């Protein structure tokens, strides 16, 4: 049995325009373990939202998944589906980038759920919550109406909402409650992977706490794996088990949440963490990063962070650093660590 | 003659939006309800107004800037009500009080190049004696915010990133060097690194140029970093006011306490241990009752009197006040078990 | 210059419409010269210049009508006056619409309520029956009175559009910034809001002109247009009156109708093109 649930390798998602190609995601490798909350951090424009949209196969022209694989290793994979490739202790997996549309539809909600940005505003305003949830549940499963209703009550309880919500209309609920309804919908068919993109942005801070607690609860109760995308580092510190930081379409550092917050290795991670104000304690002058974030149409040569990096060396301007292993599971793509063992993930996956 | 008038004084400010809503649910929305505070002019200082959704903080900012007319109460600049100012006096007010807005996209007229926001200021307030001097001042202002003039001048707003645009707004402030900046959520739409730069620049403005700032935010960590004074708003009312360190260390009002305990910590080793959020409700959803405390529905320490009367601000400790019956001398609160 | 060229290259619809429209306008403008070149000193309206009911031939490219007039020449005259009426009516309607819409949107309050009521009142009136009635009563309608009449009933449309645009533009962040930068209301109207209204003015003008020409043709078809000049609608009226179709002289209707179609096509193309230019997302949906 494999330890990973999802292994994405060399993912490249480009948007084509008359002016050139916007290489929004450009060579990303991430592996997500079972029953963990995996955080994807980074600022706007780094490609994290596009990456998960790609994994969900929601990229529309002019965007295109140019290369890469997203191997998904569910327990009890659907019989009808052909399994591609093999990695991961010999377990067979499904390449999400290769599956057909009908297969994808089968996987969605049952195996993988997606909570997109701002989804709390996409509830149907003229249907009661319960009806919407039952609808979605029955569309993607063989449950009867009675069974679907029971299940809906169950998941609402998991997210901390009372049965009353079933009879409510969306406008009768607060923003936080709507967000929890969306999360409940995502959990209804017990998917093994839930992808949530900025689920707590634009919520009041106390409601944010409720939603974060809900997500932690879901991980405990259902054993699901959650990919949590957010630009808010504090939220990652509070919730996730492992964390990947993206910059300019690439993953610059990945590791456990303790490794990232306590011993960040990549200069960007260090600056990013150092730029966030802390509540309480001594006030130290925040660090900022000089310069401006680059544009996907013209990523800098070599290491993409070198124009803004306080430790930039000559090699950084010419050679893009591979991911070096700082310690097992903790990797940073920075030439400062070139004595460490570079991981060539693309080759490892291909074997 | 020394003046003891505060630089800016807000007295019992109230703003009601009438007739909001559709045909069937027309109601009045009290956006700002009896807000009072003063900012003295002797020393530059930072006051942070912290409020969640529906707290009225943006409406308050607009009233202070003269963009919205209050329903009652007054905003006074050096003792003079801004609603009754002459054109010349208003011009002087504008010279002294300038905003930074939240959205770096909509504050620029897409029809013009971004130079215009800077040139208009120079022209209107006669900031320079000659075009050459104006250019020198503009260049300097851009450098202060870490922008290179030739990267930015002559471009249209859509050609710059949100961060660059917000920095130009800050350059505009520097160009002007007002007495007071009204900053309404100026960093919520820009990147983390730029946020830090922005906050540091505001601190430098205070320390090196004597520019005060009224900083509006929903983020307590940002507020804490700025220090100074803090006023917490909820549903249009000020519910706590005091020195930042005091309020953060010992929050008096239950709402402030709720906010503080909901802020995620930066330290993965210090995560929340209990589940608190079950009954979390957005601040904008709290029902407004003119004759009760705004927090009655969610307060863990609510008492009978809280539902019957609106609490006035009472001192909690030196310099810190809270609008809460728990601290009123005449009401003996039920001791919490 | 390069920006202009790039604009045209990226907005082909607008370009095609503009070219067509320019050609039509040129034809209308140069009409006297063209007619003189064709007919010499004889006025195109003179009866009996040519044999009656001649089919299109090298001498008379569009044949002749029942009165022995060269159809092509009459067509050019008709085009000139139809265009004049349409453009005049369109301009007046748009101008009045701007003024009313702007005041209503910017001022708000009482001025807005009054103007809006007035606008809605005119909108509610069934335009065509009123036009028919009024033009039947007004003896001696000429081009200008026709244009005024048409404009009187079409300005509410642009007024509404302008008003809603001004309402939304008024709330923009840059208007707030202008106010705190010491600009007064007049400066804000002309420097901040008006430039951003230009797309809507352009579209409004195109729509108004199309509407005006259509209404004019409708009136002329039943003989209620200006009686002293030839217009495209009037030509169709004559052709129907003479029973041209049953006589097989289809060119007498096809010529004016065809020109009208091309004119509408050009104006609408410009309209769509302008909309796409200012809202590039539309290009995808309309399949460019």
Contact C182 B99 (CB under 8 A): no
Residue A246, strand partner residues: A251
pLDDT digits (tens, 9 = 90+) for A179-216: 989 999 999 999 999 999 999 887 888 889 989 999 99
Q: Which of residues 72-101 of B touch C (CB under 8 A)?
A: 91, 94, 98-99, 101
Indicate the SS3 state at residue A251: strand
pLDDT digits (tens, 9 = 90+) for A206-242: 889 989 999 999 999 899 999 999 999 999 999 999 9
In whole angstroms, give the CA distance from residue A71 to residue A93: 6
Name the packing angle between helices C232-241 and C71-107 (round to 10°).
130
Enumerate residue ranges in chain B where pLDDT < 70: 1-3, 20-26, 277-279, 329-337
A326: containing domain:
4-111+191-279+289-350
Chain A neighbors of B164, CB-CB under 8 A: 292
Please give the tally of structural domains in chain A: 1
Give DSSP secondary structure letters for B150-197. Answer: HHHTT--GGGS-HHHHHHHHHHHHHHH--SEEEEESTTTTS-HHHHHH
Contact B120 C178 (CB under 8 A): yes
Q: Chain C within 8 Å of B120 (Cβ-Cβ)? A: yes
Q: Do B73 and B34 touch, CB atoms closer than 8 A? A: yes
Pairing of strands A323-327, A84-87: unpaired
Indicate the SS3 state at residue A338: coil
**C113: closest CA of chain B, how far (Å):** 15
In whole angstroms, give the CA distance from residue A347 to residue A341: 15
pLDDT digits (tens, 9 = 90+) for B150-195: 989 989 998 888 889 999 999 999 999 999 999 999 998 888 888 9
How much is the pLDDT for C218? 86
CA distances from A5 to A26, A194, A251, B97 (A): 22, 11, 19, 56
How much is the pLDDT for A89? 52
Pairing of strands B80-81, B8-20: unpaired
Residues 6 or more apart whose CB falls under 8 angstroms from that of A152 comprise A130, A133, A134, A137, A166, A184, A188
Q: What share of chain C is helix, strand, coil (3-state, %, to 5)?
A: 75, 0, 25
Chain B neighbors of C174, CB-CB under 8 A: 106-109
Q: Closest partner residue to B109 among C179, C180, C192, by Cβ? A: C192
Q: Is residue A239 part of a domain?
A: yes
**Residue C263 has which token pair?**
């004119």
Q: Is residue A130 part of a domain?
A: no
Q: Is residue A314 part of a domain?
A: yes
C264: pLDDT strictly greater than 50: yes
Q: What is the CATH number of the domain that holds A45?
A: 3.40.50.300
Q: What share of chain B is helix, strand, coil (3-state, %, to 5)?
A: 35, 20, 40
Q: Do C264 and C86 touch, CB atoms closer than 8 A? A: no
Chain B interface test: which of C177, C188, C280 (most B C-beta within 10 Å) = C177
In whole angstroms, give the CA distance from residue B180 to residue B66: 14
Q: Is residue A12 part of a domain?
A: yes
Closest to A290 measured CA to CA, from B206, B163, B101 = B163
Residue that the structure tokens 């790039």 belong to: C6
**A29: closest CA of chain B, how far (Å):** 24
This model of the complex carries an ipTM of 0.88
Chain B neighbors of C180, CB-CB under 8 A: 65-67, 94, 98-99
Q: Is residue A171 part of a domain?
A: no
Chain A neighbors of B220, CB-CB under 8 A: 205, 279
Give DSSP secondary structure letters for A5-56. Answer: EEEEEEEEEEEEETTEEEEEEEEEEEEEETT-EEEEE--TTSSHHHHHHHHT
Closest to B171 measured CA to CA, from B203, B214, B139 = B139
Contact B108 C176 (CB under 8 A): no
In whole angstroms, give the CA distance from residue A103 to residue A96: 9
How much is the pLDDT for C286? 40
pLDDT digits (tens, 9 = 90+) for A142-187: 889 999 999 999 999 888 888 889 999 998 888 888 998 999 999 9
Question: What phi and psi values does residue B237 have, to the nearest 5 degrees?
Answer: -115, 150
**B108: closest CA of chain C, how far (Å):** 5
Which range scores top for mean pLDDT: A80-89, C26-35, C173-182, C244-253? C173-182
Q: Chain B within 8 Å of A298 (Cβ-Cβ)? A: no
Q: What is the CATH number of domain C69-285?
A: 1.10.3720.10
C21: pLDDT strictly greater than 90: no
> What mean pLDDT do residues A40-69 have?
92
Residue of C nearest to B90 (CA): C182
CA distances from C165 to B20, C162, C168 (A): 21, 5, 5
Q: Do C201 and B131 touch, CB atoms closer than 8 A? A: no
As a residue count, chain A comes to 351
Residue of C nearest to B88 (CA): C182
C10: pLDDT strictly greater than 90: no
Pairing of strands B72-77, B46-51: unpaired
Q: Do C276 and C282 touch, CB atoms closer than 8 A? A: yes
Contact B264 A272 (CB under 8 A): no
Q: Chain B within 8 Å of C194 (Cβ-Cβ)? A: no
Q: Chain B within 8 Å of C181 (Cβ-Cβ)? A: yes
Domain boundaries in chain C? 69-285
Contact B124 C181 (CB under 8 A): yes
Q: How many angstroms from the chain centroid is the CA of residue B227?
A: 14
Give DSSP secondary structure letters for C215-237. Answer: HHHHHHHTT-S-SSS--HHHHHH
How much is the pLDDT for C137? 82
Residues 6 or more apart whose CB falls under 8 angstroms from that of B186 comprise B100, B101, B102, B166, B169, B198, B215
Chain B neighbors of C278, CB-CB under 8 A: none
More confident residue, C272 or B92: B92
How much is the pLDDT for B159? 86
Chain C neighbors of B98, CB-CB under 8 A: 180
Contact partners for chain C, using 3 or more CB pairs closer than 8 A, are: B
How much is the pLDDT for A131? 93
pLDDT digits (tens, 9 = 90+) for C62-119: 777 777 788 888 888 888 888 888 889 999 999 999 889 888 888 888 888 899 899 9
Residue that the structure tokens 């962070």 belong to: A305
How much is the pLDDT for C32? 79
In whole angstroms, give the CA distance from residue C262 to residue A70: 55
Kindly list the structural domains of chain B, giving each domain's residue range(s) and its CATH number in brackets, ordered by start.
8-268+276-327 (3.40.50.300)
Give DSSP secondary structure letters for C84-134. Answer: HHHHHHHHHHHHHHHHHHHHHHHH-HHHHHHHHHHHHHHHHS-HHHHHHHH
Contact A275 B195 (CB under 8 A): yes
Q: Is the dihedral of CA C155, C158, C164, C169 positive or negative?
A: negative
Q: Do C263 and C213 touch, CB atoms closer than 8 A? A: yes
Give DSSP secondary structure letters for C11-70. Answer: -HHHHHHHHHHHHHHHHHHTHHHHHHHHHTTS-TT-TTSS-TTPPS-SSSTT-B-TTS-B
Chain B interface test: which of C109, C171, C174, C198 (most B C-beta within 10 Å) = C174
Element (H, E) at B32: strand B27-39
H helical segments located in A32-120: 48-55, 101-107
As a residue count, chain B comes to 337
C287: pLDDT strictly greater than 70: no
Q: Which of residues 96-155 of A touch B (CB under 8 A)?
A: none
In whole angstroms, give the CA distance from residue C2 to residue C7: 8
CA distances from B325 to A9, A27, B27, B288 (A): 59, 59, 29, 18
Q: Which of residues 219-248 of A touch B (CB under 8 A)?
A: 231-235, 237-239
């Amino acid at each position: 049995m494999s330890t990973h649930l999802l292994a994405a390798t060399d993912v490249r998602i480009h948007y084509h325009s008359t002016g050139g190609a916007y290489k929004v995601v450009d060579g990303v490798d991430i592996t997500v373990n079972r029953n963990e909350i995996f955080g994807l951090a980074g600022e706007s424009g780094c490609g994290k939202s596009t990456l998960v949209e790609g994994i969900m196969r929601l990229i529309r022209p002019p965007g295109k998944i140019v290369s890469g694989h997203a191997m998904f290793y569910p327990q009890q994979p659907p019989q009808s589906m052909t399994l591609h490739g093999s990695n991961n202790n010999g377990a067979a997996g499904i390449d999400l980038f290769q599956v057909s549309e009908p297969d994808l539809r089968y996987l969605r909600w049952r195996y993988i759920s997606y909570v997109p940005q701002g989804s709390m505003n996409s509830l149907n305003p003229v249907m009661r919550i319960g009806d919407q949830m039952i609808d979605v549940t029955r569309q993607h499963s063989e449950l009867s109406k009675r069974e679907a209703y029971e299940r809906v009550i169950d998941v609402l309880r998991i997210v901390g909402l009372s049965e009353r919500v079933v009879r409510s209309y969306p406008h009768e609920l607060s923003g936080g409650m709507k967000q929890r309804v969306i999360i409940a919908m995502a959990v209804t068919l017990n998917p093994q992977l839930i992808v949530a993109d900025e689920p707590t942005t634009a919520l009041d801070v106390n409601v944010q706490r409720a939603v974060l607690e809900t997500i932690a609860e879901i991980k405990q109760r259902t054993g699901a794996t959650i990919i949590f995308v957010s630009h808010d580092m504090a939220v990652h510190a509070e919730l996730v088990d492992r964390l990947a930081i993206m910059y300019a379409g690439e993953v610059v550092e990945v590791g456990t949440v303790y490794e990232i917050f306590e011993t960040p290795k990549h200069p960007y991670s260090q600056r990013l963490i150092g730029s966030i104000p802390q509540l309480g304690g001594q006030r130290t002058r925040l660090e900022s990063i000089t310069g401006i974030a680059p544009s996907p149409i013209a990523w800098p040569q070599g290491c993409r962070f070198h124009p803004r990096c306080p430790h930039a060396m000559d090699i950084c301007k010419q050679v893009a650093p591979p991911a070096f292993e700082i310690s097992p599971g903790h990797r940073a793509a920075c030439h400062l660590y070139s004595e460490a063992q570079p991981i060539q993930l693309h080759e490892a996956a291909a074997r | 003659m020394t003046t003891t008038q505060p630089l800016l004084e807000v007295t019992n400010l109230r703003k009601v939006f009438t007739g909001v809503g559709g045909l069937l649910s027309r109601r009045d929305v009290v956006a700002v309800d009896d807000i009072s505070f003063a900012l003295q002019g002797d020393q530059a200082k930072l006051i942070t107004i912290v409020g969640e959704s529906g707290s009225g903080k943006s409406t308050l900012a607009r009233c202070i800037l003269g963009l919205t007319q209050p329903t009652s109460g007054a905003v006074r600049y050096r003792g003079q009500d801004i609603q009754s100012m002459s054109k010349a006096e208003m011009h002087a007010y504008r010279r002294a009080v300038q905003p930074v807005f939240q959205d770096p996209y909509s504050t620029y007229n897409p029809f013009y190049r971004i130079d215009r926001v800077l040139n208009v200021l120079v022209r209107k307030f006669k900031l320079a004696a000659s075009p050459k001097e104006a250019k020198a001042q503009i260049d300097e202002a851009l450098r202060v915010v870490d922008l290179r003039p030739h990267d930015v001048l002559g471009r249209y707003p859509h050609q710059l990133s949100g961060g660059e645009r917000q920095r130009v707004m800050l350059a505009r402030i520097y160009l002007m060097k007002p007495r007071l900046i009204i900053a309404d959520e100026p960093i919520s739409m820009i990147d983390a690194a730029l946020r830090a730069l922005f906050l540091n620049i505001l601190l430098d403005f205070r320390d090196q140029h004597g520019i005060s700032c009224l900083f509006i935010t929903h983020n307590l960590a940002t507020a804490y970093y700025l220090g100074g004074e803090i006023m917490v708003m909820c549903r249009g009312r000020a519910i706590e006011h005091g020195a930042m360190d005091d309020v953060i260390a010992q929050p008096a009002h239950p709402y402030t306490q709720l906010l503080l305990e909901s802020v995620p910590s930066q330290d993965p080793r210090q995560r929340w241990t209990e589940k608190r959020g079950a009954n979390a409700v957005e601040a904008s959803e709290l029902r407004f009752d003119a004759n009760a405390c705004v927090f009655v529905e969610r307060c863990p320490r609510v008492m009978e009197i809280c539902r019957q009367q609106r609490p006035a601000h009472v001192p909690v400790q030196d310099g810190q006040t809270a609008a809460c019956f728990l601290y009123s001398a005449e009401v003996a609160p039920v001791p919490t078990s | 210059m390069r920006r202009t060229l790039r604009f045209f290259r990226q907005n082909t619809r607008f370009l095609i419409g503009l070219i067509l429209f320019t050609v039509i306008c040129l034809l209308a403008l140069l009409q006297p010269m063209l007619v003189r070149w064709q007919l010499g000193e004889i006025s195109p309206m003179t009866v009996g210049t040519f044999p009656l009911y001649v089919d299109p031939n090298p001498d008379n490219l569009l044949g002749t009508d029942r009165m022995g007039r060269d159809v092509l020449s009459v067509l050019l005259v008709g085009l000139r006056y139809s265009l004049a009426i349409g453009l005049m009516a369109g301009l007046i309607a748009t101008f009045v619409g701007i003024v009313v819409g702007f005041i209503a949107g910017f001022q708000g309050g009482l001025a807005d309520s009054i103007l809006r009521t007035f606008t809605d009142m005119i909108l509610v009136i069934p335009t065509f029956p009123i036009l028919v009635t009024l033009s039947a009563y007004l003896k001696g309608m000429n081009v200008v009175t026709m244009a005024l009449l048409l404009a009187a009933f079409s300005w509410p449309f642009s007024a509404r559009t302008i008003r809603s645009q001004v309402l939304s533009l008024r709330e923009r962040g840059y208007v707030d910034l202008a106010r705190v930068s010491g600009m007064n209301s007049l400066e804000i109207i002309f420097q901040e809001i008006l430039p951003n209204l230009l797309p809507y003015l352009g579209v409004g003008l195109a729509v108004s002109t199309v509407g005006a020409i259509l209404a004019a043709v409708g009136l002329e078809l039943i003989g209620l247009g200006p009686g002293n000049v030839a217009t495209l609608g009037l030509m169709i009226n004559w052709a129907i009156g003479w029973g041209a179709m049953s006589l097989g002289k289809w060119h007498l209707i096809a010529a004016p109708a065809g020109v009208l179609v091309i004119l509408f096509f050009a104006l609408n193309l410009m309209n769509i093109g302008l909309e796409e230019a200012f809202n590039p997302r539309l290009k995808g949906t309309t399949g460019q």
